[in-house]
Chains A and B, each alone.
Chain A
Amino acid sequence: EVQLVQSGAEVKKPGESLKISCKGSGYSFTSYWIGWVRQMPGKGLEWMGIIYPGDSDTRYSPSFQGQVTISADKSISTAYLQWSSLKASDTAMYYCARHDPGTLGAFDIWGQGTMVTVSS
């Protein structure tokens, strides 16, 4: 079964760092882009960026450039999203999703989401 499994919920304080993960299985992890999507409470989907684990080519949404870092470790089929200094406004659900080139632009498989709560 093709799936993306994300790390568990996190509760952090402002200023702390955080790295969440997304592990792919059931397919060739290095052959598909992995994107990250933010969903703030009660709000819509926002694209953050995307990485190609095969060569770590990474692209960021202008809205998130410099705010987060996307990386991948192909040896363990895992993509990451990290913050160096969290803010309360980073409180949101974060999804990873696989981009299938065969769908010409769509994300066909989604992780279950990681809820990040930032509160003092």
Chain B
Amino acid sequence: SYELTQPPSVSVSPGQTASITCSGDKLGDKYACWYQQKPGQSPVLVIYQDSKRPSGIPERFSGSNSGNTATLTISGTQAMDEADYYCQAWDTDVVFGGGTKLTVL
């Protein structure tokens, strides 16, 4: 079955750029999306179709997808961005990555 691999944790200082990767075989041939989940809350879609932002998502969130890796980039990271982030793609089925805990310190 298809698998997506994310680093368990990423740390970033406030105001700096955070990059979270998601790796899968030929992931660049599929569409990737990203969700943000804060403690006790439902996931929120922050990037779809590799790089598009839903309405209401700040411009500091961006995405890319090429080769075997999709990347979520948060520019000018704020304390409110501290959360778990999950990538997701469709193979024959829906697949989620294992999640990355972003710490802003």
Listed in ascending order, the chain A residues whose CB lies under 8 Å from chain B are 35, 37, 44-47, 50, 59, 61-62, 95, 97, 103-108, 110-113
* Interface contact A106-B45, CB-CB below 8 Å: yes
Closest to B42 in A: A110
| B residues at A contact (CB < 8 Å) | 1, 30-31, 33, 35, 37, 42-45, 48-49, 52, 54, 84, 86, 88-90, 93-99
- Most B CB contacts (10 A, CB to CB) among A47, A105, A107 go to A105
Contact A103 B45 (CB under 8 A): yes
Q: Which residues of A contact B84 (CB under 8 A)?
A: 44
Chain B residues with Cβ under 8 A from A61's Cβ?
Answer: 93-94
A62 to B94, CA, bound (A): 11
A106–B33 CB distance below 8 A: yes
Q: Which chain B residue shows the least CB distance to A6?
A: B42
Instruction: Take A103-B33, A104-B31, A105-B31 as given contacts and tell me if A47 and B93 are in contact as well, using a CB distance cutoff of 8 Å.
Output: yes
